[in-house]
Amino acid sequence: MIQPATHTSASGVVATVTCSHCGLPVPKGLITPKPGDQFCCAGCRAAHDLIHGCGLDTYYHLRETGRADAPRADQEPVGYDAYDDEAFARRYVTRHDEAAASIDLTLEGVHCAACVWLIEKLPRLVPGVLDARLSLREGRVRVTWDPSCVKLSAIARTLATLGYRPHPGRDLTKRQIARREERQQLIRIGVAGALAGNVMLLAFALYAGMFSGIEREYAQLFRWVSMGLGVLSLAWPGRVFFRGAWVALRTRSPHLDLPIALALGVGGVAGVLNVVLGRGEIYFDSLCVLVFLLLVGRFIQFRQQRKADAAVDLLMSLTPTTCRRVTGGTIEQVPIDAVEAGDLLEVHPNELMPADGEVVSGSAWVVASLITGESQPVPVAVGDSVCGGSQLKGSSIRIQVTAVGASSRVGRLMAQVSECLAEKPAMVGVTDRIAGWFVVVVSALALVVFSAWSLVGIGPAVDHTVALLIVACPCALGLATPLTFAVAIGRSARRDTLIKSGAAMDRLAQPGRLLLDKTGTLTRGQMQVDHWRGDETLQPLLPVIQQQAGHPIARAVVQAYGHIELPADQRARVGPVTVSARGVSAPTHRGTLAVGSVRYIQEQRARVPARFWGWADHLAQRAFTPVLVAEDGVVVAVFGVGDTVYSDAEAALDQLGRWGWRVEMLTGDCSAVAEHVADQIGLPKQAVNAEVSPEQKLAAAKRRVDDRPVVMVGDGVNDAAALAAADVGIAVSGGAEASLAAADIYLGRPGLATLVEVIATARQTRRTIRRNLAVSLGYNALAVSLAAAGLINPLVAAVLMPLSSVTVLALAMSGQAKAVRLVDGPDPRSEPSDTDRG
């Protein structure tokens, strides 16, 4: 058996000295003996110098009281040249006059009061900036500056130096529409609230009159005024329910607006008639409160969903929008939209390919895991073609663009995604399904009550039927359901899980087919060192000699062992490193070390003891690349480099299986790797689908074996169409932009524990909703029987309705998800981050 390796835990870092800026531990090599500020990287030093130099040290005090760490500073803020472009300015900048322009920028890393304070001090940090206003909720700052004094790129660079990487806001129209909608909803709530309050005051007078008597003249006055205000409430803020009911009728889909509109409509018409005729009861106070409460419930859910939308927008704007174009001898930053086929582009390590192309100079590795699902880096050299969206590793290359936009591979996949999203039917919420038969039952009851009372007389029959229809309004349900979802969505957001709609969450409560992508979902999607066998004392030496090699394996080694300190005298004795394509070698205090592939070690004519052969074979079978370490011509250690499975995957799948989910794996990777991963997580062979193309993934997500939901979990562009087509699409952290746009839910933390968490929350939410349902239907049943018996008057209705709402609300708020944690769920902080910050 291969031992689990002992490496890459954050605890390996000596945690006594922390960075004065970001609060993270300072690597031992960077600790300066002098007392005073210590920094973990040059970026944090620059940020601290900037803040200190402008006399803004209050930031650090504010932060301590807020108990939050500063975002880690950007080491070398590059790539903001395009901000000075004419094209950029036309798209994003608003010009007020000669000396003032403004722009909305979305910032990464904004989370607390200290952030607000520091960012709004931007005019002091950058002379020429006139004003900066931050919106904490959206992480968006509006910067007003004088273009004749300072360039926008300088402002952007300062923000990046502080750790708040700016991005121009995308899709401004969408945001404006959302803002207008939110304002309209607020106005409706305000009007409904004011009218409800005033009608209730009038109703008090009338109720008092019921007990102590009231002159008919004044009773009529109160009734007329109540009618005026009540009709206004129904016709203005209450119009949304009538409109919703009308749409539901036209599309023949059940909706909760139907029974609500029925109650409001019948109550309104009967009330007006009774006032005009000067007889019978009026229910305008109950109706107005109904409108007000329902609007509040909907507004809260709308706000939560908008918050999730804004967070997804931010994630999407993180993808680069510019690239480097080489024209003649000069390199310029241009927007990706401006690139055309035939252009020459320069791409740097860790960047994404801006377009499909052919390598014209340089050689490096590309990781196409987001496009194809393949986890192994592929070497590319002059003449090879590269696919847009894949990540470059190693060194810079230049490519000649062959296809952009809709004609590129990513473009074709994106076209499929939007097709699937357009086809996807609107989800019918749980309360809407109930609303369908609710209307039928209530209408039937109304008919029975009317015919029974018409034996007594037509007058009482009409009165009691109207009372029944009003008290049967599912107010508690209409108020509690959006609130229950809003609470669940809000709590998930605090755990970095973004849920775009309550209906999507509701679908997760019922187990169905769960399709899992492999690379990046079940596995980390990055090369990692694992399974070290042999002499462990060599580990600290490896990063030193691997540092100069650009190969992904060398990078994985540096990441794994770079934190172990090598004594200075030993470091000094590391001689010149010889780098070749398959390995490196260098003289050290222990003799000449050679590190590389099996072939490299053979080329070096090193002796390989038999047990190392066995281990190397074993690693190769498990889809790891074996790396051998030879000391003076004898192999003394072997380790594997490959994509490792999340440690919590098996426990998570086990839990999902117990809930009744049928788990399948869909991957573009080869079957040997897929089966090995399946083996590790305890997935049977028949549930593994390897070498699957994006089209086949889409077909799998569309196939319905039964009426149970199909849930797709993935991260890549190759998953995006399937995410859009599935009943619920879940994108995982580190994924491609396309998968974010297509998915209903985004899991912001790596590992599968969050997937279990979101499903647990969905199950809990459904239980809460069922209980709300039982209680509110119980109230309705009670009210309906009272009405059928002719015992309901406006006062009883006015007491019963808020009482039921309050009960259900209390249940909705109290019975919410207790966090489900897997026993060995990973600490998200110990996961390696997928952005290389050096």
Min separation Cβ 190 and another protein, Å: 5
Which single residue is written with the structure tokens 């990464």?
108
Q: Please, what is the angle between helix 794-814 and helix 284-316, to 10°? A: 20
* Euclidean distance between CA atoms 122 and 764, whole angstroms: 45
Nearer to another protein, 183 or 704 (CB): 183
Q: Does 194 participate in binding another protein (rule CB under 8 A)?
A: yes
Beta strands (DSSP E) in 166-273 are 166-168
Contact yes or no for 489/502 (Cβ under 8 A): yes
List the one residue from 96, 174, 179, 573 that touches another protein (CB under 8 A). Answer: 179
Compute φ and ψ for 77, nearest 5 degrees: -65, 100
Residue 204 lies near another protein (rule: CB under 8 A): no
Residue (111 or 676) nearer to another protein, CB: 111
Q: Is 191 in the site for another protein (CB under 8 A)?
A: yes
203 binds another protein (CB under 8 A): no
257 annotated active-site: no
Cβ density class 8-17: b for 16+ within 10 Å, e for less: beeeebeeeb
Q: Which stretch binds another protein (CB under 8 A): 3-11, 188-196, 368-376, 596-604?
A: 188-196
Q: For residue 509, which amino acid is it? A: A
Q: In whole angstroms, what is the distance from residue 715 CA to residue 298 CA? A: 31
Residue 683, burial from CB neighbour count under 10 angstroms (0-12, 13-18, 19+) = buried
Determine which residue in the list 101, 103, 116, 801 makes contact with another protein, applying CB under 8 A: 116
Q: Does 102 bind another protein (CB under 8 A)?
A: no
Rounded Cα gap, residues 774 and 477, in angstroms: 9
Q: β-strands 513-517, 662-666: how paired? A: parallel
CB of 233 to another protein, least distance (A): 12
Stretch that binds another protein, among 115-123, 159-167, 248-256, 486-494 (CB under 8 A): 115-123
Scanning 88-96, 111-119, 721-729, 741-749 for contacts with another protein by CB under 8 A, the matching segment is 111-119
User: Is residue 130 a contact point for another protein (CB under 8 A)?
Assistant: no
As measured in angstroms, the least distance from the Cβ of 489 to another protein is 16
177, 186, 440, 458: which one binds another protein (CB under 8 A)? 186
Among 74, 104, 108, 138, binds another protein (CB under 8 A): 138
43-62 mask for another protein (x: CB under 8 A)?
-------------------x
Task: Choose which of 135, 321, 570, 592 interacts with another protein (CB under 8 A).
Answer: 135
Q: From the CB of 498, what's the least distance to another protein, in Å?
A: 17
**Catalytic choice (74, 313, 517, 669):** 517
159 counts as binding another protein under rule CB under 8 A? no
The contact pattern for another protein, residues 59-98, with x = CB under 8 A and - = no contact, is ---x------------------------------------
CB of 183 to another protein, least distance (A): 5
CB of 110 to another protein, least distance (A): 10
What distance lies between CA 212 and its chain's CA centroid? 60
Q: Radius of gyration (Cα) for the chain, nearest Å? A: 32
Q: How far is the CB of 64 from another protein (least distance, A)?
A: 13
Report the C-alpha gap between 96 and 92 in whole angstroms.
Answer: 13
Q: Is 696 exposed, middle or buried (0-12, 13-18, 19+ CB in 10 A)?
A: middle
Residue 174: how many other CB atoms lie within 10 Å: 12
Residue 247 near another protein by CB under 8 A: no
Instruction: State yes or no: residue 671 binds another protein (CB under 8 A).
Output: no
Stretch that binds another protein, among 213-221, 439-447, 461-469, 830-838 (CB under 8 A): 213-221
Residue 207 C-beta: closest distance to another protein, Å: 16
CA 763 to chain centre: 20
The number of residues that bind another protein (CB under 8 A) is: 27
**Chain position carrying tokens 């931007």:** 122
For residue 422 the two structure tokens come to 């357009």
Residue 514 CA, chain-centre distance (Å), reads: 19
Sheet holding 356-361, edge to edge: 330-335, 322-327, 344-347, 397-403, 356-361, 385-386
What are the angstrom distances between the C-alpha of 208 and each of 226, 271, 286?
15, 19, 16
Q: How far is the CB of 710 from another protein (least distance, A)?
A: 37
**Beta bridge partners of residue 732, listed in sequence order:** 747
Residues that bind another protein (CB under 8 A): 62, 112-113, 116-117, 120, 134-138, 179, 182-183, 186-187, 190-191, 194, 197-198, 201, 215, 218, 221, 225, 229
User: Catalytic residue numbers?
Assistant: 517
